[in-house]
A and B are shown apart, each in its own frame.
Chain A
Amino acid sequence: MDSLKVGKEKSLFSPQRIIGLVVLLVVIALAYSIVAFDSWVITLISLIIGAGLFLAYSKFPGFKSRISESLQGDKKLLLLIGLLAIIAIPLTLRTQPYIIHVLVIAMISMILALGLNFQVGSTGIPNLGYAAFYGVGAYTSALLSTKFGVSFWVSILLAGCISALFGWLVGLPTLKTRSYHMALVSIAFGLVTYIMLNNLAFTGGPNGIKNIPAPEIFGWSLFSSLRIFGNTYPVQVNFYYFVLIFTILAFVVSRFIFNSKVGLFFNAVREDEIAAKCSGINASTTKLLAFSIGAFLAGIAGSLYAHYIGYISPENFNMNTSLQILGMVIMGGMDNILGVGIGAFILSVAPEKFRSLADFRMLATGSIILLMLMFRPSGIIKQQIRVYAEKLQKIAKTTQG
């Protein structure tokens, strides 16, 4: 009770708030320096500094509780400042469209990783063919808009739904079986999708689909550059804001699902399926739901990718892509939405910075997954312990009042 009162009477610049602001600024500065400079040295140094700060944060309990307290206290203000920074970043990078392109891809990866997190992280089902759902979404959307002239808004929705349908279908054969069967079925599905996309005539075979139109908002195509205050902004900036909206939506929805009863069901099935069944949870429905939601997000991401790049081919959706996304989830922290976002950010931005080492990209991803699993299986940010005490307090308060 006392702490609540203190929170209300907090002055404009209490030490708590200043700590929170400083932490936020450090995080933004680090993220910016990882992305914004065309030099792998700066990226490497920022990554090392970030890792060092993070280690310091997690090693010293006093430090940790202090910071998390001040972050919690000013959550809304900090979120707002963070959002403003994210909105402002591309304006400072007007002359470097490539870096904005990297950021757009990073956001699409975040949506993908959030989707996979429902399966691998929350429900504990290994999905090793996730790129296939991504591909199904991308191809659905691309085919609809190139062959049938369907508008972007309809095709992205259909892409999500058809991808979700595939997720449901792939989940079906594994309901009675164990986790390694699921791994097998998902790999098989990934390979079959890849073979099909390569061989079927209407998907364009190995050549893929070209000339996918850009999304239009009230008749205004995203492929036309913006001019603000006499400055021309590259088209990537349009897509940056466009994809940003979807990414924020994906984060909000994921968080909502995580905090809802369904998120709890996912975790229950992961921890002990039999116990979950005994508590009245329908394990089959829960698993299928995890599949469908994850695949839906993959479909949305696929559609965004297709309409952004304008060209897709089966090579974008092979086994390596699946493992790449899996790496993001494992590195960031399974079943932690913020962590997964960070993992997706690092694993999609870093390879672009270390382009001279592109040959080692997949080796590095594999090694990162392996090392993470062996030495820190919980990922960068551990999954949160579900706290119900606050909610209960609130309920108690409202019923008393």
Chain B
Amino acid sequence: MNTFLQLLISALLVSSLYSLVAVGFTMYVGVINLANFSHGDTCVLGTFLMMPLFLYATKAGWISASAGLLIPLLIILLLLITGLWGVAIYKVLVKPLLAAPRLILLLATVAAGQVIREGIRVIYPNGSNPQVFPKLLPGGGLHLSGITLGYDSLTIIFLTIICILSLNFIIQKTKMGVAMRAVSQNPDVSQMMGIDIEKTIITVFVIGSALAGLAGILNGSYYGITKFNLGSNLGIKGFSAAVIGGLGDFKGAIIGGVLLGFIEVFASAYIPNGSQYQDVFSFLAVIAFLIFRPSGILGEKIFEKV
């Protein structure tokens, strides 16, 4: 029973990280029908931007002085930077290629991911090797009748829930959220209704990239380690989660992330030798979904129109 509960917590943790990545993915698909394969590498870019920031802050003596306040500030600063990075990706890469065939845009994002990944490896000192990531999250944990609830995993789950709830509020209640939903349904008509499409898309890119950066630093600080090529795996998992939930559907992405996290954690725990094959299980799940329900759990059936 205790192992089960422990696994449950760790599944929730993995689910949170996947959901954060998947949300960005699904928003891009929803709004401009773009599968952004550089999304996972944006997460890793976040971690590699965080490390020098943290180092600088420690050297300047800010961290030791008032640790409690500064780390959240650092994280917010990082979210702003990765958000700006999202704008850059849109302006430089996506916008000039929007008129081109979708295949070109897709391949361009794949190449951009590789450029980010290899750029980090080449530019960062000793970048080919795994890097120690600073502990941003509180250590220690609650001990409840045999199981340990680490404060770090609790913080990650809690932060994810806050992000998702506030994003849900933005999408459902604010004007910008209405604009996003309108653009995802029909860009032409929403433009006619006076929606600034460009602004909407940029907002989506800011939110998506910032969430990716958050997922990256949470991931890095939980495992205490980061590497230049972690992003391809994280990105593919996020995309898989988005596909399972139904591409373009915000809630679906979260459901997909949770499902994927649970499959991964429980399969690697209960299937012999499972931890070696944990990625295989999640990919099998995606392929099963693509065969039997290609539109995902919440997605509507796609009807192609001539």
Contacts and interface: CB of A to CB of B under 8 A. Distances in A.
Contacts of A176: 290, 294
B104 A362 contact: no
Contacts of B277: 195, 199
Contacts of A208: none
Nearest to B290: A173
Contacts of B283: 188-189, 191-192
A188 B240 contact: yes
A184 B240 CA distance: 7
Contacts of A126: 103, 106-107, 110
Interface string B92-132: 01001100111110111011101101110110000000000
B236 interface: yes
Contacts of B119: 363
A323 B29 contact: no
Given A183-B35, A362-B114, A366-B114, A195 B276 contact: yes
A122 to B, nearest CB: 12
A120 B102 CA distance: 12
16 contacts: A128-B110, A173-B287, A180-B106, A181-B243, A191-B279, A192-B279, A195-B280, A274-B304, A326-B107, A363-B118, A367-B115, A369-B108, A373-B107, A373-B111, A374-B93, A377-B100
A172 B291 CA distance: 8
Interface in B282-306: 283, 286-287, 290-291, 294, 302, 304, 306
A274 B305 CA distance: 8
Interface in B18-37: 29, 35, 37
A363 B247 CA distance: 30
Contacts of B114: 323, 362-363, 365-366, 369
Interface hub of A128, A176, A188, A189 (most chain B Cβ within 10 A): A188
A366 B35 CA distance: 18
Interface of A: 120, 124, 126, 128, 172-174, 176-181, 183-185, 187-189, 191-192, 195-196, 199, 273-275, 319, 323, 326, 330, 359-360, 362-363, 365-367, 369-370, 373-374, 377
Interface of B: 29, 35, 37, 93, 96-97, 100-104, 106-108, 110-112, 114-115, 117-119, 121-122, 232-233, 236, 239-240, 243, 247, 276-277, 279-280, 283, 286-287, 290-291, 294, 302, 304, 306
B118 A183 contact: no
Given A177-B294, A181-B290, A366 B239 contact: no
Contacts of B247: 180
A323 B276 CA distance: 25
Contacts of A374: 93, 96-97, 108
A16 to B, nearest CB: 37
A195 B106 contact: no
Given A191-B279, A359-B122, A179 B103 contact: yes
Given A184-B243, A370-B112, 9 more contacts: A172-B291, A179-B103, A183-B110, A184-B236, A188-B286, A191-B283, A195-B277, A369-B108, A374-B93
A10 B101 CA distance: 45
B80 to A, nearest CB: 25
A205 B286 CA distance: 25
Contacts of B102: 179
Contacts of B276: 195, 199
A387 to B, nearest CB: 23
Contacts of B122: 359-360, 363
A360 B283 CA distance: 31
B241 to A, nearest CB: 11
Contacts of B236: 184, 187-188, 191
Given A195-B277, A195-B280, A199-B276, A274 B106 contact: no
B280 A366 contact: no
A124 B290 contact: no
Given A188-B240, A360-B122, A179 B279 contact: no
